[in-house]
Structure 1
C-alpha cells in the first residue's frame, strides 16, 4: 500500500482524479462524481489504478473533493461515516475545520460554521433545501443517521447555483448513486451501546442498540440501479443536571451580595428511538439520460424521564442567612434557608417527529455541449412534544405540610452546589401528590373548582403539561441548463430557475393539572401515590439530597388521576407562540465556469449572479387580556423583497501540488421564523403615541428581512501527498441588516379592538420586536491539514495526524452602537485526530474544542432561550479490525469496532452572568460506549 501511495503522489491532479474514479472513490458523492467526470474528459487514458481502503481511503477521497472543488469546501466521505460510525451526521461534522457543534441533551445537534450559529447556514439533501424539526430554520443534525448517507459537503463559499441560502455556508447531505457503484452490495451492521452511568432513574435505560441493513444492485445491463437502507436505533443518554433559577441581590449587615435564588437539579434518563429508511432508484434508459428518484423517511422519538427536587432559596418562603461569601465577586457561596417547602418533581418529556423527503431528478445530455437538468422535491416534518410536570410535597399550598431547613455550599469551579436537608424525601407517606407551593395563578382554574375567594385560591396547580406542535412543509422545483462553449476564458455557462414554497406552523398550548380527587371543601388535600405507580426511588446524591420518590407520572395522567385546564384561557403567551409563516421564493441564476491560464498557470473557478424574489406572509393572533381572559383576533400580514447575490470563485494552480483560492460573494440569512410571526399582544390606546399610532404591538415582525453579508475568502493549499495536505485560509464578512430589538410600523387594518370588539378608525400601530439595522464585521483565519507519517519513513505507514484551528473575531454592533456577540461564535475552534490503519487494524483518537459562545437551549414551555455557554473539549476514540484486510479470507467482509464518546466526561455548562460562580446549568452526561460490527456479503 505504501508503494502505491508514493506512486500516486507523482501523478498530476487530473490523473489522480481519474485514478480515484476508476477505483470507485469519486462515485461516493454527487459533487465528487461531477468533479471526476470533468477530470475524465481531460486526463489521459493510461493511468495506473491505485487502491487504498478503509479510513485512509476516506481521507484521500475527502482531500481530493476539497482539492478539485471550485468552491472552498469540507467533505466527509462514506467510508469516514461507515468505517468509523457516528450516531448522527452532527458527530461527523464536528470534526471538520471551522465547524463546531452544540450539544442538546448530550448529543451533538446544532452546527456552527466559522463563528455563525445554525440559523445562519442552509441545509440541503442532494442539493435541495430541507425542512427542520426545530422551531426555526436551523437543522438539528441528530435527526439524520450517518449510516444511510454517502457523504456530506460543507460549502464555505457559495456559487450562484447553490440552493439553501446562508451567510455561514451550506451543508449538503448526499445519498448514494447506485449506478456509480461496481455491483451488488449487501451489508448488515449492528451496535450495542452502554452509558457509564448506571440507571439514574428506575424506569430509565443505560443500554441501547443500533442496526442497519443496506442493499444495492444494478439490473438491465446496468441501466437500472437500486439502493435501500434501513436503520433502527434505541440509544440511551443520561444526565446529572444542576439547574439554577437565578442569582438575585441579597442584603445582609448593610452590604449587598448575590445569592442563589432557587435551584431545580434533577437526573434525566433518555432513549432516542429512531427508525430511518433510504431508497434510491436510478435509471439510465439511454446513454444521454439519467433519472434519479430518492426518498428518506425518519421516525424520531426521544423519551425523557426526569426526577429532581425544586428548591426555592432567596426567592422562597424561608428565612435566609448567608454563611460564607466570596469577597472577590461578592457572591454568597454558602447559605441556609429555614422554614422552606420544596417541590418534588417527577416529569416526562417526549419529542415525536416524523420526516419525509422525496426528490426526482432528470439530467439529459442533449448533445456533447448542452445538458438540461430538471429537479422536483417535497419534504415535510411533523413534530409533537409532550412535557408533563408532576409535583409532590408535604402539603398543599405555601403554608401546609412540614417545612425543611436547607443549606447549600457551592462546589469548586462552576459545577453548581450541594445541599444539606432534614426531611426524608424517599418517604411515600410524607411526600404526596399535589402542589406544595402556590404556583397556579389562574382565575379560570380557581373558577373551575369554585375556590375563588377561599384559602385554596391559586393553590390548585398540581402539575402541568406543555403540548407544542410544529409542522414544516417545503415544495420545490428547479430547471437548469449548461452549455459548453469554445472560449479561452469561459468553458461553460449555466443558467436556471428555481421555486420554493415553504410553510411552517407552530401551535402552542399548555394545561394546568389538578388532582381529579380534589374538590372544595370536601377533599382539598394531597394524595398518596397509589402502589401500582410506585417505581422505588431516584438517587440525588450528586446534589446532596439523597433518595426521592419515583413514580410513573405518565401512567397517572393516562389513567385519569389529573384534570387538565387550558392555560391559554388566561395566559397570553400561547397566543404569541402560535403562528404560521409561509415563504415563496423564486430564484434565477447565471454562472460561467472559468478555465484559462495566467502566466502558464491554470486558473479555474466560476462567476455568477443569483436573483432572489421572496414573498412572505404570516398568520397569527392579535390578543389582549379582558377581565382576566385572553381575547384574540386573527392576523394575516404579507411582505416581499428582492436580492441580487453576485459570487466569484477563483483557483490558481501554482504547480501540480499548490493552489491559491479567492472567493467573493454576497449572501443572505433569512430571519428566524419565530421572530417574523404575526402573533403579538395588541392594545388600542385612545391617545396616539409619538408616532401618531393608537395600536401598541409587542411580538413578532412579519416584515423582517434577511441579514446580509459580503464575504471575502483567500486560501493557500498545498497537497504534498495523496493522503496529506495543509491549508491556510483568511476570511472576512461585512455584515448588514442584522436583527435587533427595536420599533417598527404595523398595519392593523381590519383587526378589532379586543376590549370593545369594534374596528378602530386608526389602523396604524407601533410594534416592538426584532428589526433590521445592526452592522459590523466578522473576520478570522483557519489552519488545517492532514499529515500521513509515511512521508517521513515507510516504517510509519498507516500512522497520521489530522488537525485544524480556527480563530474568529467580530465587531458587530446594534443600532445604538453597543457591541453584540453573534450566537454560535467561539473565538477559537480546534480539532485533532491521531489515527493508525494498516493490515486490517484501525485506531483513532479525536478531540474537538471550542471557546465560550452564545446558544439556544430549551426554556420554559420548550421555547428557544439564548444563554451563555461555556467552552468545552471533547475526546472520542475508536479501535477496529477488518478481518478481510487482516488476511482472514474466510472472514472477508467482517469488521468490528469499539468506540467511546466523551471520554473525559466533559460537562455542558451555561452561566447566568459574567460571574463563573453563577451557574445556570451544569449537565454531566458521563461517557458512552459502543461495540459494533459490519458484515458485507
Structure 2
C-alpha cells in the first residue's frame, strides 16, 4: 500500500485558495455587521442600571478596557478576581490572545510567538522591567509565573518609546496586583487537586496526582496611604508522556560504510529506498513542584509622592524518570538485513514502510532528569510631583535566574539477537515495532558498554539583570501635545552557561542489573508499539560506573558567558488633539540605544596536525562589539465615533540575538595555507558563535479598526507589515580571529598574492550571522461578544474568537533553499464559548496553530534548527459555581479539564542523505508525543 503526504511551505505566496476565510475568520466578519445593527437598536431603548460585575465577565471587561484605553495597539488578559486568571498558567492565557500562539514544552505551554515571529523576537517585562530567562536565550518561559499571582498581562503589538526591553514582534508586560487600586481587605484561598489521565507510566516516577494551593492578601492601612498585596502559590503538578521517535532516515546503502541488504532499488541510478536507522519508544513520569511568591508594598502619603516596592520569587523543581525501548537495526555494526519489505511515498521520498530487519539489537534505557530553577525579581519605583507640572520618576530593578540540571542515562541491551518487525512508518501515530525477545526478564537484559551511551551531564545557567531608570514628565496645555516625557535607562545583563559531560563506564562490557536495583516491568504502549521492558533504579546502579569527563570539544558550544551594557535615552510626546471633528490621541517618541556586548568562550584544537603545540586542548577566547540604534515610534488612535476607534502605528524595532549565538567559542580555528608550499595562511573554523552579531531590525506599519459595544463586547480587524532590515540565519561569514591561538608550526596569517590588501586576522566561519532581510505581514480579526447583543434569550452566553493570517517573504540561504522563520505559523485561531449566570459558569476553549518550525535545544545543548512541528489544536474545558449569598458566600467550586482530546505534539524532519530520487526538504514522520489530559477539581474562598 502506498501513501503520499504533502506539506505547504510557510513561505508560499498568498494563493487564491488561501485567501478564502476560514470558518473562524468568517464568523468574526459576520459578527462585525450583525452585532453592530442589533446593538444600535438596543441603545435606543436601553435603561442604565448599576451592575456589579464578577467572574468571567469581569475579566473580559477589564481586558477590553485595557485594549480600548491604550494609546498603542495592545491585547490584554485580566484575572476574573484576585488569584483567578482564566487558565492554569499565564502561558495558556496569553496564547489565547489574537495573533499569539504557544509552543508546548513537555506538554506545557511555555514559549510564546507573536504575529508569526518566534519567542526570541519578543520582549518580556515584569511590571515594566526587563525580565531574565532561565533558558539559554532571552525568551521568557511563561510557565515559570504562577497564574494565581498575576493580575493582568498586556501584550504591546506596537512600540512605546517609554517601554524598555521591547521586542521586534511585540512585548509582554506581566503585572501584579497593586494594593492601592483596591479598597478594603481581600483574602483569597485556592485549593485544587489534579490528576493526569495516563496515571503512573513509570514505576519509579510520579503517580499522576498533584495539587495546587494558593493564598493572597490585599489590604490598605493608615488612611489608604499604605497598601500591601502578597500572594503565595504552590504547584505540585504531574506530567505523563508517551513518545515515539524514529532515528534518522536516509538512503544509506553504500554511504559512509553502512551495511544494508534487501533495500529496494528505485530504478534511478544507484538510488534506493530510504529507511530509519532505528527507533525508540518511551514513557515518562514527571513531577513539577513550584513555589511562587509575589508581593507589592505601596506608599502614597499625599497626592505628590508615590513609592512602590515589588518582589517576585519562584522556586521551580522538575523531576523526570523515563523508560525507553530502542531498536537499532545494526546499520553501523554488522549490517541491517531487510526482508518482506513494503514501501510508501512520503513528501517525495520513497521509504521502507514495513517489513522485518535482522542484524540489529534491542536496547533499554533509563533516564533520570532533575531541574531546579530559582527566579528573583525586585523593583523599587518612586514618583514625585514637582513644581511647574513636572513629575520625576526613579526606578531601580534587579532580576536573577539560576537553573541547575542533572541528567543521567543508564543503558542496557538484550543479550540475544532477534529480528525486529515493523509497519506503519509512513504515517504519524501508526508506527509499530515488535520483537520476539522477552525484555521484561532481567536474565535477558544486562547493563552494557556497547554502545557506550551511558552518561551524565550537569548544565547550569545563570542570568542577571540590573537596571536603573530616571525620567521626567511634564503636563502641557494649549496645543496638540498633552505631555512630554524624557529619560534614560541603564541595563546591565550577564548570562553564564556551563555544561559538563561525563562518561559512565562499567568494569566489563556487560554487567547484570543488581537485584536490589530492579524495579517492576514497564509497559511501553506508544502508538503501535506494545512492549514490556525491565526497569531499574538509576541511582542504585551508579556505584557500578566509573565517571570520567568526556567530549572536551563540546565546550566551544556548551561553556560561555555573555555580558551586555545597554544605555537607552528616550523621549515621548503624548498627543491629545482634534482633527476636525475627530478626537485623536496617541504618542510620538524615540529611543536612542547604545549596546556594548562582550562574550567569553573556548576554542577547540582537535589536534589534526601531529606534533603541533596545543593539540587536543581548549583555550579561553573572547570577543565583542558595540553598536547604536535609533528607534522612532508613532501611535495614533482616531475616535471616529464614541465606540469606533481607528489606530495607526509606525515604528522601527529590534530584537537582540540569542545569547548562545553570541558565544565566543569556535571549533577547530586554524590557518590554511594560501597556496601549496606557502608560509602564509588564512583563518577558518568549522563552526562556533559570533560575539559581534547584531540584532534583528525591522520597520513596522500597523492599522487597526475597533468597534465596541458597551463594556464587554467588541469586534476588531487589524493589519500589519514588518520589513526586516536585518535577519539572522546560518551562513558562511567573516569573523575576526586576532584573539585566537595559532597552533600551526609552519604558517602565519597573511594575505595571498591575489588579495594583498586583506586583513590577515579576518577568516571564515559557519555560524548564525546577519544577512539581508525580508518581510512579515498579516491580518487579524477578533471579537468578544455577549449573546444578549443578539437576543435577550442569550443573556449569560458569550463568545471570544480570533483569527490571524500571517505570511512572510524571506531571502534564501547559501544553497538557494528557503529560510524557515522560527516560530512561524501561517494560521492561528482561538475560539471560546462561555456561559455565566446566577453563580454558574462554564467555558470551553480551543486554540489552533498551523505547522511551524522552531529552534529547540536538547539536554545536550545541541541546537536542532528548523524542527518542523505539525499543526496543533488543543481543547480545554472548565465549569464552576460561585455562591453569591447565604452562609457559603465567597466560596466557588471549579472543575477544569486541560488538553481534553489528548492532542499530540508531532514533529517531522527531512532525511539525512538522499540520492537523486529523494528530497532533503521532504518531511518524514519523526517524533510523536502524547501528554494525556489533566483534570483539576477545587475550590476558592474569598473573604
Question: Which bin holds the TM-score, normalised by the shorter protein?
Answer: 0.7 to 0.9
- Call closer, same or farther: CA 1:425–1:8 in 2, change over 3 Å: farther
The corresponding residue for 1:296 is 312
1:630-649 alignment runs, 5 A limit? 630-649=616-635
Question: How far is the alpha carbon of 1:254 from its aligned partner?
Answer: 3.2
CA–CA distance in structure 1, aligned partners of residues 328 and 923 of structure 2? 18
The structure-2 alpha-carbon separation of the partners of 1:769 and 1:250, relative to structure 1 and needing over 3 Å to count, comes to closer
Name the stretch that deviates more: 162-171 or 307-316.
Answer: 307-316
Q: Where do residues 531-546 of structure 1 align in structure 2 (5 Å cutoff)?
A: 531-542=515-526, 543-546=528-531
Q: 1:713 aligns with which of 677, 696, 702?
A: 702
After superposition, the C-alpha distances for 1:399-457 in whole angstroms (9 at most, x for unaligned) are xx4212111111684115111211100011111122343xxxxxxxxxxxxxxxxxxxx
Q: For residues 63-74 of structure 1, what are the structure 2 equivalents within 5 Å?
A: 63-74=64-75
Q: What residue is the counterpart of 2:538 in the other structure? A: 553
Pair 1:918-2:924 in alignment: yes
The CA deviation string for residues 899-933 of structure 1, in whole angstroms up to 9 with x for no partner, is 00111111000001388882111001111111111
Tell me if the contact between 1:414 and 1:917 (Cα under 8 Å) persists in the aligned partners: no
- Structure-to-structure mapping, 1:383-462, within 5 angstroms: 383-394=403-414, 401-410=415-424, 413-415=427-429, 417-437=431-451, 461=452
Q: Distance in 1 between matches of 2:719 and 2:352?
A: 45
1:526 matches 2:510: yes
Give 1:281-320 correspondences, 5 Å limit. Answer: 281-313=297-329, 315=331, 317=333, 318-320=336-338
Rounded Cα–Cα distance in structure 1 between residues aligned with 2:604 and 2:675: 19
User: Does structure 2 retain, via aligned residues, the 8 Å contact 1:744–1:767?
Assistant: yes
Of the three residues 586, 592, 597, the one matched with 2:573 is 592
Structure 1: where are the runs of 5+ without partners? 12-46, 395-400, 438-460, 519-523
SS in 2 for 1:79: coil
Is the contact made by 1:261 and 1:312 (CA closer than 8 Å) also made in structure 2? yes
Which of 520, 538, 551 lines up with 1:568 in the alignment?
551
Task: Please point out which of 751, 768, 772 is paired with 2:770.
Answer: 772
- Residue 682 of structure 2 aligns with which residue? 694
- Distance in 1 separating the partners of 2:369 and 2:617: 30
What residue in structure 2 maps to residue 451 of structure 1? none
* Gap change, CA 1:364 and 1:917, over 3 Å in 2: closer
Following TM superposition, by how much is the alpha carbon of 1:551 offset from its aligned partner in structure 2, in angstroms? 1.1
Q: How has the CA–CA distance of structure 1 residues 6 and 820 changed in structure 2, closer, same or farther, with 3 Å as cutoff? A: closer
Alignment of 1:358-377 (within 5 A): 358-367=378-387, 369-377=389-397
Aligned to 2:240: 238
Match of 1:905 among 902, 905, 917: 902
Cα deviations across residues 496-536 of structure 1 (Å, max 9, x unaligned)? 10000001111122111012xx1xxxxx2422222222220
Alignment partner of 1:671 out of 634, 652, 657? 657
Aligned to 1:824: 823
Summarize the alignment of residues 164-179 of structure 1 with structure 2, pairs less than 5 Å apart.
164-179=165-180
Tell me whether 1:896 sits opposite 2:910 in the alignment: no
Partner of 2:455: 464
Aligned residue for 1:532, secondary structure, equals: coil
Shift of 1:179: 1.3
- The residue aligned with 1:611 is 592
Unaligned runs of 5+ in 2: 1-37, 254-262, 267-271, 751-759, 911-918
Offset, 1:83: 3.6
Counterpart in the other structure of 2:939: 933
Instruction: Find the aligned partners of 1:771 and 1:578 in 2 and give their Cα distance.
Output: 20
The 2-side partners of 1:125 and 1:238 are apart by: 31
Structure 1 residues 488 and 8: CA distance shift in structure 2, 3 A: farther
| Alpha-carbon distance in 1 for matches of 2:208, 2:638 | 53
Match of 1:492 in 2: 483
Secondary structure of 1:67's match?
A: helix
User: 2:274 pairs with 255, 258, 267, which one?
Assistant: 258
Instruction: Tell me if the contact between 2:558 and 2:861 (Cα under 8 Å) persists in the aligned partners.
Output: no
1:225 equivalent among 219, 224, 227: 227
Q: Pick from 659, 671, 681: which aligns with 2:645?
A: 659
C-alpha deviations, 1:346-401, integer Å up to 9, x for none? 1111121111111100011224721111101011111111111110113xxxxxx4
Q: Distance in 1 between matches of 2:922 and 2:768?
A: 30
1:379 corresponds to which of 399, 406, 412: 399
Report the counterpart of residue 842 of structure 1 in structure 2.
841
Give the distance between the partners of 1:49 and 1:485, measured in 2 at CA. 35
CA–CA distance in structure 2, aligned partners of residues 7 and 105 of structure 1: 48
1:327 positional shift: 5.1
Q: Is the 8 A contact 2:459 2:500 kept in 1?
A: yes
TM-score between both structures, scaled by the size of structure 1: 0.88
Report what 1:813 is aligned to: 811
Structure 2 counterparts to residues 79-98 of structure 1, below 5 A: 79=80, 82-83=83-84, 85-98=86-99
Does the alignment pair 1:338 with 2:358?
yes
Partner residue in 1 for 2:883:
883
Q: Cα deviation per residue 1:75-95 (whole Å; 9 max; x = unaligned)?
A: 111217844543321011111
Give SS of 1:876's match: strand
Structure having greater relative contact order (Cα 8 Å, sep ≥ 6) = 2
What's the secondary structure of 1:890's corresponding residue?
coil
Paired residues of 1:8 and 1:722 also in contact (CA < 8 A): no
- Counterparts of 1:472 and 1:253, CA distance in 2: 53
Match of 1:291, SS state, is: strand
Secondary structure class of the residue paired with 1:330: strand
Separation in 2, partners of 1:916, 1:270? 34
SS at match of 1:531: coil
Q: Which residue of 2 aligns with 1:125?
A: 126
Aligned to 2:669: 683
Q: Is the contact made by 2:133 and 2:140 (CA closer than 8 Å) also made in structure 1?
A: yes
Distance 2:40 2:54 in 1: 16
Counterparts of 2:314 and 2:616 in 1: how far apart (Å)? Answer: 38
Deviation string, structure 1 residues 533-560 (Cα, Å, up to 9, x no partner): 2220110133434210111113333xx2
In the TM superposition, residue 300 of structure 1 has moved relative to its aligned partner by 0.9
Per the alignment, do residues 195 and 590 of structure 1 end up closer, same or farther by CA in structure 2, a change over 3 Å counting? same
**Distance in 1, Cα, partners of 2:438 & 2:236:** 35
Query: Which moved further from structure 2: 273-282 or 801-810?
Result: 273-282
The equivalent of 1:513 in structure 2 is 504
C-alpha distance in structure 2 between counterparts of 1:844 and 1:750, whole Å: 60
Q: Return 68-77 or 621-630, whichever deviates more.
A: 621-630
**Inter-partner Cα distance in structure 1 for 2:485 and 2:529:** 66
- Describe the shift of the 1:545–1:838 C-alpha distance in structure 2 as closer, same or farther (beyond 3 A): closer
In 2, are the aligned partners of 1:740 and 1:814 still within 8 Å (CA)? no
SS at match of 2:592: strand
Corresponding residue SS for 1:675:
helix
Alignment partner, residue 501 of structure 1: 492
Q: Superposed, which structure 2 residues align to 1:742-757 within 5 Å?
A: 742-754=731-743
Per mean C-alpha deviation after superposition, the further-off stretch among 693-702 and 104-113 is 693-702
Q: Is the 8 A contact 1:773 1:814 kept in 2?
A: no
Q: How many residues align?
A: 855
Q: 1:194 to 1:714 in 2, by over 3 A?
A: same
Flag the 1:527–1:860 CA change in 2: closer, same or farther, 3 A. Answer: same
After superposition, what is the alpha-carbon deviation per residue over 1:533-590, rounded to whole angstroms, capped at 9, x for unaligned?
2220110133434210111113333xx2321111134xx1233221111110000111
Partner of 2:4: none
Q: Residue 770 of structure 1: CA displacement?
A: 1.8
Q: TM-score w.r.t. structure 2 length? A: 0.87
Tell me how far apart the structure 2 counterparts of residues 614 and 216 of structure 1 sit (CA, whole Å): 40
Q: Taking structure 1 as reference, are residues 203 and 99 closer, same or farther at Cα in structure 2, changes over 3 Å only?
A: same
1:903 is paired with a residue whose SS is coil
CA distance in 2, matches of 1:693, 1:144: 53
